[in-house]
Structure 1
């Protein structure tokens, strides 16, 4: 691969497939949307742990299930625009392979949380009991895998520059600084 080809691939990965659907140049929607499942699932784990500690855990077990459901819905929305960002990356590149692993991990985590939600719904909420240890462990492991996937997402943006504006555009934020 030539240098010009590499720069062409990089420029391609910075542009949205559809600005209306994936976010305009330099401001993709995917990083905004991932905050919903991350926040919901982190909070659900906190509720799960707290449900094993407090005297009346019912509100925490219910709240945790709702947070898991909100996270699954948010993850599906983030995945839709994430697919569009993935399609902007030229195939056969390290960035594309990283994107595929990132996507696969996120889909696995979303499936695990959907299964966890179904598990909680099928077992009901026994009064006076916290979230089951199996459900709590599944949430913790899912969150750890989500962290690994987030690392790969950061690598896509900060190392490979996927959907990040060109440096010449970024420099606009630093013009006009008074001399030292």
Structure 2
């Protein structure tokens, strides 16, 4: 039987803003920065493997920008999801750490974008220090993703309760075929 705190953490602050019960917006929005930043790292590495790295360097820059914009959108609705988790609980502490890591990663990528715009020649491979910042940022993002998974899959934050989940496993009775 779920506790009142568990029931509270499953309900949205606002269905319109945070997503309806059992279907929050945050998990779908996080795919934008994750995908953009992983792709930017692939472009960064690939820029060292070609004779004409300019298109990869420019592509990586704009993937970083897309990721920052997506991360801000994901952070806004993620914050709304955190608001329903009762303070003082382990789930809340994990949520705060998840949020702090994601904000730090977003800040690192915003700084990386500005640094590249100011210092990176657009026709050369991505600089080693910029590449290292991207690798460190992806590593921190992976840790944060683990914590986000813990919030959803271990603590059930914004996940439908077990009775609602059980509806998806009930066998439907087939209607008799007409003779």
- The two structures have a TM-score, normalised by structure 2, of 0.94
What is the alpha-carbon distance in structure 1 between the residues aligned to residue 100 and residue 172 of structure 2? 43
4+ long deviations beyond 6 Å: none
Query: Residues 128-147 of structure 1 correspond to what in structure 2 (within 5 A)?
Result: 129-147=124-142
Q: Which residue of 1 aligns with 2:166?
A: 171
Give the distance between the partners of 1:123 and 1:159, measured in 2 at CA. 43
Deviation at 1:177, TM superposition (A): 6.1
Q: Unaligned stretches of 5+ in structure 2?
A: 174-179
Q: Distance in 2 between matches of 1:17 and 1:126?
A: 44
Aligned mate of 2:45, from 42, 46, 49: 49
Query: Does 2:95 correspond to 1:102?
Result: no
2:68 is matched with 72
Give structure 1 stretches of 5+ with no counterpart. Answer: none
What RMSD, in angstroms, separates the aligned Cα atoms of the two structures? 1.2
Give the superposition deviation at 1:125: 1.9
Name the structure 2 match of 1:58: 54
Distance in 2 of aligned mates of 1:126 and 1:49 = 15
